[in-house]
Structure 1
């Protein structure tokens, strides 16, 4: 039976309680601005709250949350997590550069102009969120997402996630998939391949429920690791 890795970090947060989702105090929404590439949270209190409660976003001047101490540092939210916060949790209000509030259709149109596979990626993001993973960008390792147990502060990423659409079938053959796998193995991760069925018309958030996502764990047999595990038993 396959057991995925949850490698704990050496850190001072062992007794820290993390909330999986942000909570709006007094019913007020977080305020974000769509910059054309991401959604930017400028208020430092809201930025820190979003990162502390669910590890959403990345500091504009930091590797993780906003931690540089600079007054002009903001929190940058990815397209998928922005959509999740705004139209599924309904805790984020997104405005465009002109100050107009963006509804789901307006945001979807803008996101698809940046990433034509946005709908498929969003479906996979929601699928992973339903399994309680913390999701960050996987572009550094050549994938779509990195997923963590509980928090990147506590654990290293367990999987490098690659989204496969019907148009990608020819690309993700054994040769190219091995390349992704080797990159993941250099940082002690496994590859999770998510296959997304053809997306139909998506005009409302609930339409994403009609998209089917199937998962495949890609792992190369490591003889040395196998022998060591047997010796420890």
Structure 2
């Protein structure tokens, strides 16, 4: 997969970036019915500085509003990744009871019936060390960054689809998404998750998602004007 790193204007040289939290750190979050909230300031700082997980409850991105009561909001997929794969996050419900994999999967599927496919895609991208944020602002599922979103723009707008449900994007819709991505200098990455009819098997243990197959397709629109200009230089 070819892509270019696009730095933001506030980039001022080298910086240390760790894609995962340190192994000896433990975090705690509360599932509030929509997302998982982390309230402890030390934990918030560690999670965002080591992998850029979550977003500030009072900020557009990093939790930097300066308000003492600002929380870190974790998406369903990244909370599951931290809790059940890295085993560094404890998720509790609003009554203080710890949620296991089955408990969490049940509530996640109520919010997103394709949560299993989305989590599989998240794990696939994480295995390649991408930083993953929500892509809803651009009409997609994820935005992925090779380094911190504080200093770099996203490289791809990610779209997740399945073959079982015959939800392949028709060319017209895909072209529209590509145009949206192109306005912010991104490409579209189409991830196709191949699932079987026996999705109940994934309710038993998180490791079951490793059996799913994912294909990736990079969608780029040929820009004739830019091509001609590049040849004239």
With the shorter chain as reference, the TM-score category is over 0.9
Is residue 75 of structure 1 aligned with residue 72 of structure 2? Answer: yes
Tell me the alpha carbon deviations over residues 193-217 of structure 1, each in whole angstroms, 9 at most, x when there is no partner: 0000115320211100011000001
Q: What is aligned with 2:225?
A: 224
Structure 1 residue 13, shift from structure 2 partner: 4.9
CA distance in 2, matches of 1:154, 1:229: 27
Q: Which of 27, 30, 35 in structure 1 is aligned with 2:27?
A: 30
Structure 1 residue 171, shift from structure 2 partner: 5.3
Q: What is aligned with 2:211?
A: 210
Deviates more, 1:179-188 or 1:78-87: 179-188
Q: How does 1:137-152 map to 2 (within 5 A)?
A: 137-152=134-149
Deviates more, 1:192-201 or 1:210-219: 192-201
CA shift in 2, pair 1:46/1:13, >3 Å: farther
Tell me the alpha carbon deviations over residues 19-40 of structure 1, each in whole angstroms, 9 at most, x when there is no partner: 111125xx45201000110000
Q: Indicate the SS of the match to 2:226.
A: helix
State the Cα RMSD in Å. Answer: 1.5
Q: Where does the alignment leave 5 or more consecutive residues of structure 2 unmatched?
A: none
Q: Indicate the SS of the match to 1:40.
A: strand
CA distance in 2, matches of 1:79, 1:21: 17
Output the TM-score relative to the length of structure 1. Answer: 0.94
Structure 1 residue 155, shift from structure 2 partner: 1.1
Q: Where does the alignment leave 5 or more consecutive residues of structure 1 unmatched?
A: none
Deviates more, 1:169-178 or 1:41-50: 169-178
Q: Indicate the SS of the match to 1:150.
A: coil
Q: Which of 155, 160, 180 in structure 1 is aligned with 2:157?
A: 160
CA shift in 2, pair 1:182/1:167, >3 Å: farther
Q: What is aligned with 1:174?
A: 171
CA shift in 2, pair 1:6/1:168, >3 Å: farther
CA distance in 2, matches of 1:169, 1:229: 39
Q: What is aligned with 2:181?
A: 184
8 Å CA contact retained: 1:6, 1:155 = yes
Q: What is aligned with 1:49?
A: 46
Output the TM-score relative to the length of structure 2. Answer: 0.94
CA shift in 2, pair 1:193/1:12, >3 Å: closer
